[in-house]
Structure 1
Amino acid sequence: MIMSETSPQTHIGRRLQHHFPDLGPQERRVADFILAHLEDLAVYSATDLSRLSGVSKATVTRLFRRLGYDDFKAVKAHARQLRHYGVPLASRSDALDDGVERFRRHAEREQENLRQCLDGLTPVLFDEVVRALDKAPAVAVIGYRNSYPVALHLRQQLLQARANVRLLPAPNQSLAEELVELEPGALVVLIGFRRRPRLFETLVEALAAREQRVLLIGDPTTAKYADRVTWRLECALETISAFDSYASAMSLVSLLANAMLHRRLAQGRSRIGEVAELYEALDELAP
């Protein structure tokens, strides 16, 4: 579907760029300021924009109406929604930070993401999930777009300690045949971080209809699927700038894989040893 430049889903930056040639000098001053501070738009007021860009409040109001917004409240809601759903919004102010200060802010944000992830885990929930990863006759891991590297890493970690862990679908293949072949009692681990493909919701519905056990790992936007999956684990992705961070997700993968290994320590150690011997026999890894 092709969206018009003023449809509700269209990024405000794209709207500004589309209308920029038709803007007057004062409106252009506001537009330039907004484009330079998109990440901060949700926290500004119309008065702030007027003052910081050096134009009248009426000019700010006129610009937003030209862009298709009823008022500035609609603009702020749009900006918050874009970031919530993962649209990268960057501010030039990030580039002005002192290096040490930037590192400090980054570390604090990462620590907060990890804290939120772990706070959402209870011992009972965690034990249930780890037991399922251990006891399921087969584990199918699915992740699209930005979720794919996390899914791939989870599959690789689990495969060190147990058999029959698959990453679905195979490259350039459809998913239906793979799901039909899943053993009774198999566990599907669905990785679903924001900006998911449209297929994702249909997949959740299909797995629920088949009464498939599903572990969903995603960001807070997956809350709407909670009643259709068996377990849901949440990872915060927020950063100090535009692009999401998956550090908490990778940490969760490590936590789950290690916990599963310790549930089957004897078998896991034996399998790890066999894999290591084959690495050597095949000369696959450098020293």
Structure 2
Amino acid sequence: EDDLDAFSPAERIIANFILTNRGGIAFETANSIAEKLQVSPVTVGRFSRKMGYRHFKDLKAGLRTAMSGVPWLVGDQMTAFVGAGGGSDRRGGSLELELAGIIEVYALAETPGWKEIVALLAHSHRVHVTGFQTERGVAMTLAHLLQYAREGVTLPDATAGNFHEVLADDDPAGQCLVLVDMRRYSQQCHDLAAAARRRDIPVVMITDKFCDWIRKYTDHVIAVPTEVELFWSSQVALSCAVNLLVNDVIGVLGGKVEKRLERLSDLYQAHSGHVGSPRRKRTEG
């Protein structure tokens, strides 16, 4: 990990994948990693030898003594689903991978790095959350949930193309930027991370296991497993991370959240209303 800057681009991609996929590396082969990372199996073997091992299988054996694998949730419901014939083997494999991903996110939530990110989301004067491509919905969920818990949370308009909400403030102190994206990564996401770094705005990145460039701009990275045996990459682990982040932020903020929720509930009831509840008369002024 300390020597990432000395690696070639291909070696850095492989190293980053291993560092952020510790629980699942036991299930990989040189060929499967090469296919996922779009490098050659020869490159994977060369990387293994550079790390002091004979080949990738030998590297995995060495890692096994230092890394604990992710447990598998194969209970009665899982067994029934896979064996019933109601879904294909591919869907059964995807369920297993997504369950393992959730467990991995819960383990991440116990790390010091996670707690640093929670502190940023709880205590920064302003928190900007933006997502790109198909991950925009995940970013919106995070922003909207945080807006219920605290004030000062914005969802910058990416279509404007200038991110003035984040970058145009003369005094960037007290801001925090959260980015959500998966490969192939948006150029906007990369450029916004770089611009925020230049302005000393802390950046949090919620992403997949393959984002090797983000650590040039921040150490606050939540890299979750997204590869399953379906057509699209899975956003299940991303959503799990969002739920746990918001829960932990609420835990840090404490009683202030309850007061804000009461105020927002009153406003919603006055202006919109919930099903089954009488709408309150709006007061003027």
TM-score range, shorter chain: 0.5 to 0.7
Which of 63, 86, 98 does residue 99 from structure 1 map onto?
Answer: 86
Equivalent position to 1:154, from 120, 130, 142: 142
CA positional deviation for 1:183: 4.2
**Residue among 139, 150, 154 paired with 2:127:** 139
Higher mean alpha-carbon deviation, 186-195 vs 120-129, is at: 120-129
Structure 2: give runs of 5+ residues left out of the alignment: 1-28, 40-83, 277-285
* Residue 129 (structure 1) aligned to one of 102, 105, 117: 117
Q: Which residue of 2 aligns with 1:248?
A: 237
Equivalent residue for 1:109? Answer: 97
Q: CA deviation at 1:243?
A: 0.9
1:134-170 alpha-carbon deviations (Å, 9 max, x no partner): 1100000011111201100000110111001001126
For residues 134 and 224 of structure 2, what CA distance do their matches in structure 1 show?
13
Matched residue, 2:164? 177
**What's 2:186 paired with?**
197
Matched residue pairs, number?
201
Partner of residue 258, structure 1? 247
Q: CA deviation at 1:118?
A: 3.4
- SS, match of residue 232 in structure 1: strand
Q: Which structure 1 segments of 5+ residues have no match?
A: 1-42, 44-72, 84-96
Aligned-partner SS, 1:194: coil
SS at match of 2:215: helix
Pick one of 254, 258, 277 that aligns with 1:269.
258
- Structure 2 Cα separation of the partners of residues 177 and 195 of structure 1: 24
Identical amino acids, percent of aligned pairs: 20
User: Structure 1 residues 79, 264: closer, same or farther in 2, change over 3 A?
Assistant: closer
Q: Which moved more, 1:148-157 or 1:172-181?
A: 172-181
Q: CA deviation at 1:254?
A: 0.7
The 1:105–1:173 alpha-carbon spacing in structure 2 relative to 1, beyond 3 Å, is same
Which one has the bigger helix percentage?
Answer: 1
> Does the aligned pair in 1 maintain the 2:172–2:201 contact within 8 Å?
no
RMSD over aligned Cα, in angstroms? Answer: 2.7
Displacement of 1:119: 3.6
Q: Deviations over 1:32-80 (max 9, x none)?
A: xxxxxxxxxxx9xxxxxxxxxxxxxxxxxxxxxxxxxxxxx9xx99854
Asked if structure 1 preserves the Cα contact closer than 8 Å seen for 2:129 and 2:179, the reply is yes
Does 202-211 or 213-222 show the bigger shift? 202-211
Deviation, 1:275, is 0.9
| Whole-angstrom CA distance in 2 between matches of 1:206 and 1:141 | 15
The 3-state SS of whatever aligns with 1:163 is coil
Measured at CA, do residues 209 and 249 of structure 1 come closer, stay the same or move farther in structure 2, by a change above 3 Å? same
**Shift of residue 176, structure 1, vs aligned partner:** 3.9
